[in-house]
Amino acid sequence: MMKKLVEKPFLIGILVSVLLFIVCLFIRIPMYDGIFYYDNALVHFQLESKIALSYFMGIGLDKASVNGVPPTHFEFKPIGYVLFALIHIGLPALIIIRFKLSNARNAYAKASEKEQKLENFSND
């Protein structure tokens, strides 16, 4: 089962990407740069901080309140979008490339070994 999975690097990359996204979506891990916007009566202010994907589901958003005032909305900064892409697209892509190259190296080694056996057989 594991050998068949290793032979399909694209499937491994998709599984890693989905697993990583689900973990970040349901567990509060603030790692993306963003901006929280707060409204309290006539006072409107914003605060730059780390944003977790779970905040979009409403999980752990109470921890982002300032002096008991919850944020009205929040958004990623441009570097937050870059970090999201690097983690959720770039990391699985690196895993795909690593397994693809490993499979190619193994296939080349097998083909080379087979060719060497044929060459040794023909020389005898």
- Report d(CA 124, CA 117) in Å as an integer: 11
Could you tell me the residue ranges of all domains in the chain? 2-123
Contacting residues for 10 by C-beta, under 8 A, at least 6 apart: 96
CB 49 within 8 A of CB 77: no
Ranges of beta strands (E only) in the chain are: 32-40, 43-51, 73-76
pLDDT tens over the chain, length 124 residues: 667 767 788 888 999 999 999 999 999 999 999 999 999 888 898 999 999 999 988 888 888 888 888 888 999 999 999 999 999 999 999 999 998 898 888 888 888 887 777 777 776 5
Residues in the chain: 124
Q: Single out the residue of 79, 25, 88 nearest to residue 49, CA to CA.
A: 79
Q: Left (φ > 0), alpha (ψ -120 to 50) or beta: where does 58 sit?
A: left
The model scores a pTM over 0.85:
no
Q: What is the mean pLDDT of the chain?
A: 87
